[in-house]
Amino acid sequence: MCLLNFFFFFFFMFISFFFSLYYLLNDLVEFYDFEIISFNSFSISMSLLIDWMSMMFLSFVFLISSLVIFYSSEYMLGDINLNRFIMLVIMFIISMVLLIISPNLISILLGWDGLGLVSYCLVIYYQNIKSYNAGMITVLMNRLGDVAMLMVISWMLSFGSWNFIFIMNDNSLEVVVISSLIILAAMTKSAQIPFCSWLPAAMAAPTPVSALVHSSTLVTAGIYLLIRFNELLMNLFMIQLLLILSSLTMFMAGLGANYEFDLKKIIALSTLSQLGLMMGILMMGYSDLAFFHLLMHALFKALMFMCAGLIIHNMNNCQDIRLMGSLSFMMPITSSIFNVGNLALCGMPFLAGFYSKDLILEMICLSDINILIFFLYFISTGLTVCYSIRLMYFLMVKNFMFYSLNIVNDESWIMLKSMMLLMIFSVIAGSMISWLIFKTPKIIVLPFYLKILTLFVVLFGGLIGYYINNVSLYYFNKSMYFYFSSNFLGNMWFMPSIFTYGLVNYFLLIGKFVYKFDVSWLEYFGSNGLFFLIKDMSKLNYLIHNNSLKIYLLSFIIWFIFIILFI
């Protein structure tokens, strides 16, 4: 089943990519509208918007999902419910396809809600307490965005259509409210501050799911929706606020990844940082740049998750990077591929991430933004390189740790095939897609010190990352003086405690009280009490009907006394 689905999605990837080239070169947009029912002046219709952007995004989704399914055939081999897992992944892909090609808010909601529901099923796939908690955090945080989407749908009844293309040039108050609700929905789905605590928690899902969800589907759905709505966003009063929030998200995730020791959570926080980068550049009005970085990020982030999955698979499901070390000797091919993905994330020249990140940072140097945003972007870029070098050091360079000696040296050829194919795309796709998307070459003229600022920040971040982690035991003990600041910076600025546990704690305490009342007094006077009463009466009845001589003698004496007293 896995092989058939792999070929099916891989074939559709080629179809979608060639269609995107056709629409891009001929500057075509096709809009299909199927009317289902109409009453008075209002019509319910199913719409499809097919242009170069939707087709190119579809081709990347199909590419990553086909390779993830092929990868899962080996990774999830011991799972007795493998077919169910593959069906859930396919449902997830169908929901994303529906979201990508829809200009109609009803069909967008079907894809949007489908992503939320299926992601919940995938996060709780391993069925333990940690998975259930992570699943509830994920689905409830995303429900906020779903409620905003439902409010937009009900509000747009007054426009006579749910197609948002018809209101693109409207600047009325109603459209501002609709745009604000769309932004709220996108912020929950793309995990911006203060809705960011669910994204690292969703790492409880199987690693192939993480490779698909955190690269090209669930978390990028909000970004893609805002790219489609970008003409409406430019007139909003809250753009500056959203720019600051997205920049802070990027900065906070970069700091948190430098304190984290869980391999998958480090990559998840890296995803959060890149989502902040995309959201911020989108709020500045560069929607093409945001889309370009979205595509490049999908490639190298899926590659990093696949490599992390193979490492965890061979380390007997250990995810703590402190217990790893010298993996480059034991898993050389996986280590090489992982380093390519890591360098693409850092913006290493001529890899996929370089073409988008370098362009974004140079456009920030040209933009009329304040100094706070400027510094947040460049410091966050340095932090990205810092945690990437830290990850390489802990996994590849550091001496053997005791746990890594127990490694199962099994670099599965099936998993390596999918990773190698994705690595090739991570190397060549940046230049190829940049030539296609931008019709004229982007030549950005900057002063010398601004031109080399990106390179300087990258090198300085890498140097800091190496020196911070290459320390002795004495410095580790000294670092305990900064325990509280480390706890604050490494715990996502207490976002999970404030906006997840803090919000639900009161209701959980009420539930605990009601539960105690239910299992004590209500239980005693209710069903349990009735059960024990009937049980005692039946015992007495059984004793009476047991033809015991004592019972007959006792009843005779009672009746005799009764007759003497009352007659």
State pLDDT tens for residues 311-323: 888 887 788 888 8
Tell me what the mean pLDDT of segment 439-454 comes to: 82
**Residues 3-26 pLDDT 10s:** 788 788 888 888 988 989 888 888
Q: For position 522, what pLDDT does the model report?
A: 67
pLDDT for 480 beyond 80: no
Please provide the DSSP assignment of 159-221 as one string: GT--BGGGGTT--SHHHHHHHHHHHHHHHHHTT-TTS-THHHHGGGS-HHHHHHHTTTSHHHH
Nearest of 60, 139, 61, 68 to residue 93 by alpha carbon = 61
Alpha carbon distance 228, 213 (integer Å)? 20
Helix (H) or strand (E) segment spanning residue 255: helix 239-259
Bridge partners of 32, per DSSP, are 48
Looking at the predicted structure, is the pLDDT value of residue 1 above 70? no
pLDDT, tens only, 20-74:
988 888 888 888 888 777 777 667 777 888 888 889 989 999 988 888 888 888 8
In terms of Cβ atoms closer than 10 Å to its own Cβ (0-12, 13-18, 19+), residue 117 is middle
pLDDT tier, 500 (very low <50, low <70, confident <90, very high otherwise):
low
Mean pLDDT along residues 529-555: 76
In this structure, are residues 458 and 385 in contact, taking their beta carbons and an 8 Å threshold? yes
Instruction: Output the CA torsion 156→162→167→173 (10° steps).
Output: 10
Residue with the bigger pLDDT between 357 and 209: it is 357
3-state secondary structure of 30: strand
Do residues 9 and 16 make contact, with C-beta atoms less than 8 angstroms apart?
no
> What pLDDT was estimated at residue 547?
63
Minimum mean pLDDT range among 67-71, 218-222, 229-233, 378-382: 229-233
| Strand-pair partners of 104 | 163
Residue 128 gets the label, from left (phi > 0), alpha (psi -120 to 50) or beta, of beta
Q: The tokens of 471 are what? A: 């320390």
- What is the arithmetic mean of pLDDT over 118-138? 83
- CB–CB of 180/238 below 8 Å? yes
The whole-number average pLDDT for the span 164-181 is 75
Higher-confidence residue: 476 or 457? Answer: 457
Among 337-346, 386-395, 464-473, 475-484, whose mean pLDDT is lowest? Answer: 475-484
What was the pLDDT predicted at 13? 87
- Separation of alpha carbons 102 and 114, rounded Å: 14
Per-residue pLDDT at 403: 62
CA distance 360 to 444: 11
Higher pLDDT: 93 or 213? It is 93
Domains of the chain, residue spans = 1-235, 237-470, 503-566
Distance between CA atoms of residues 4 and 25, nearest Å = 32
The confidence score (pLDDT) of residue 410 equals: 64
pLDDT at 473: 52
User: Is the CB of residue 87 less than 8 Å from the CB of residue 64?
Assistant: no
| Tokens found for residue 198 | 């669910």
Please state which of the ranges 48-57, 225-234, 346-355, 464-473 shows the lowest mean pLDDT: 464-473
pLDDT at 128: 82
Amino acid 567: pLDDT:
65
Q: Which residues have a Cβ under 8 Å from the Cβ of 148 and sit 6 or more positions away? A: 181, 182, 184, 185, 188
* Candidate from 59-73, 248-262, 537-551 with smallest mean pLDDT: 537-551
Q: Cα separation of 338 and 309, whole Å?
A: 11
Q: What is the mean pLDDT of residues 416-440?
A: 86
Q: What is the DSSP letter of 320?
A: B
Residues 266/342, Cβ–Cβ less than 8 Å: no
pLDDT band at residue 328 using 50, 70 and 90 as cut-offs: confident
